[in-house]
Amino acid sequence: MTNFREIAWQGLWKNNPGLVQLLGLCPLLAVTATITNALGLGLATLLVLIGSNVLVSLVRDFVPKEIRIPVFVMIIAALVTAVQLLINAYAYGLYLSLGIFLPLIVTNCVIIGRAEAFASRNSLISSAFDGLMMGLGFTSVLVVLGTVRELLGQGTLFYGAEQLLGPWAESLTIQVWQVDTPFLLAMLPPGAFIAMGLLIALKNVIDRKLAERQPKIETATVTRARITKVN
């Protein structure tokens, strides 16, 4: 399967890991209080996802079927450790604010799910592309959720962006409106659940509108030539 357009459509929209497969809900709900955190975790997941898909695709012919899951997990764990060390070295503030959710990428179901469902059955190039698209799909959901929650919660955008992107990004922070009393619910996990539910609902609405707009395919209907009267 090397249909790149189909892979991109699956990863970004139709089979989006966040909105449709509902994988990786734990980091999705826990760290999306600000865009910066969401983007940081999204990018880390994206990196790990591409790396693990590439490696799994490379070794797929040499791993015995019976022990494939432990092997995949070890590959993912090694990659997560590398990404964790990278973030620790170059974005220490973000490293602190992501906390336990960074090493927990190992257990993120998106990654093991794509390794098992896609990379272990497909060629190197399409696996890497699938990792990129699934990662982008996941990251975009994280960022949208982070935007909504940050805006509702403290009325800012890109608060603390310098932790992720370096000192120049400090000017990126936008105060959209002044909030005297932060709306704590939006920043707490229950708010994430509610916002997530509304996002999924929104996606379903868009899907339905799209389906309505598509021209209906005429199916051949069987017309009966003779109607037998029963009574």
Summarize as ranges the residues that interact with another protein (CB under 8 A).
Answer: 181, 183-186, 188, 190, 194
Q: How far is the CB of 185 from another protein (least distance, A)?
A: 4
- Alpha-carbon span 143 to 140, nearest angstrom: 5
Which residue lies nearer to another protein by CB, 174 or 184?
184
- Alpha-carbon span 1 to 126, nearest angstrom: 8
Look up residue 214 and give its two tokens: 């598509």
Q: How far is the CB of 33 from another protein (least distance, A)?
A: 14
Which residue lies nearer to another protein by CB, 194 or 210?
194
The three-state secondary structure class of 178 is coil
Which residue lies nearer to another protein by CB, 69 or 179?
179
> Are the C-beta atoms of 110 and 10 separated by less than 8 Å?
no
Q: How far is the CB of 146 from another protein (least distance, A)?
A: 18
Q: How far is the CB of 188 from another protein (least distance, A)?
A: 7
> Are the C-beta atoms of 155 and 34 separated by less than 8 Å?
no
Task: Look at strands 156-157 and 174-175 and give their pairing.
Answer: antiparallel
218: CB partners within 8 A, 6+ apart = none
Neighbours of 4 (CB within 10 A): 13
Look up residue 218 and give its two tokens: 């005429």
Which residue lies nearer to another protein by CB, 115 or 186?
186
Which residue lies nearer to another protein by CB, 69 or 188?
188
Which residue lies nearer to another protein by CB, 63 or 185?
185
List C-alpha distances in Å: 231 to 31, 225, 228: 69, 19, 9
Q: How far is the CB of 157 from another protein (least distance, A)?
A: 20
Per this entry, what is the length of the chain?
Answer: 231
Q: How far is the CB of 181 from another protein (least distance, A)?
A: 6
The closest of 148, 156, 142, 144 to 186, measured between CA atoms, is: 148
